[in-house]
Amino acid sequence: PHSIEVDRGVLRTYLENFWQKEFPGKVRHFDLVIRSDETLEISVYLEKMDRNEHKVFLEKSETGLAKLLSKVFDYNRKFYVTLNL
């Protein structure tokens, strides 16, 4: 495994663009934590949606972000997405 330096602002922009494209208007904001072991923790604050939409949001986010992080940032480690309703 190798370590890479990524500007937090650049990473935030990619995440914002991903959700704007996949779920327009559904994300109020999100917090991004990069832990010392380089694990990402992303807490997403959502607009009101029904329970079934939460599941779809989480599944598409986890799958889509894994592809995005791998392709753009060569990041293939664990990351966590939590929803705040």
Of 64, 68, 65, give the one whose Cα is nearest residue 79. 65
- The whole-model pTM stands at 0.89
pLDDT tens, 23-69? 999 999 999 999 988 899 999 999 999 989 999 999 999 999 999 99
CB contact burial 18-34 (16+ within 10 A = b; e otherwise)? bbeeebeeebeebeeee
